[in-house]
Amino acid sequence: MQMKTGVEQSVYAIFILNMLPDKAVLPGEAISQQLGASPTYFQKLLRKLVSADLITSVPGVKGGFKLRKKPEDIRIYDIYLAIEGQQSLYSSSGVLNDMLELEEENSCCMLTDLMEEAESSWKSVLKRETIASLFEEIKDGFQPKVHELQEWIKEKMVL
């Protein structure tokens, strides 16, 4: 399994929006530049985040993006779902059934069960962490760099 970079970029875009003052917005172009993301691809990610009600788009010359929910209410799993969707990471192609020549009523799904258990564990970790918890961890570990990022946000934000 390899997660698309869009999930990572989306998590950190919301991380950045978390640092905005209440009435401010941040242009999508500024966020994509900060993250080193392709502006065209990044606009698609922002639309997915808006559709998932995680962020709000404010149109116009003084427009941009801001959080729609409180950071403690945005789980990392919510962002993953917004970008990747609901599909399961594993889908059996029936190799074992073909190899053992099993009829459908006798089909074996041990690997499917194992993969579903692993996916369930992985999802529970993502559901437990929020933008607020991620922010606190990063802020505590990298305070000087977070301060620099906050200064950049002040320069780029629109009130």
pLDDT at residue number 89: 67
The span from the CA of 44 to the CA of 140, in Å, is 31
The span from the CA of 149 to the CA of 152, in Å, is 5
CB 81 within 8 A of CB 111: no
Q: Convert the pLDDT of each residue in 47-68 to its tens digit.
A: 999 999 999 999 988 899 999 9
User: Which tokens in the block code for residue 3?
Assistant: 């997660």
Residue ranges in the chain modelled with pLDDT below 50 = none
pLDDT at residue number 145: 92
Pick the CATH number of 5-90+130-156 from 3.40.50.720, 2.40.50.140, 3.30.420.140, 1.10.10.10: 1.10.10.10
CB 17 within 8 A of CB 26: yes
The overall pTM is greater than 0.75:
yes
Angle between helices 76-84 and 5-17 (to 10 degrees): 130
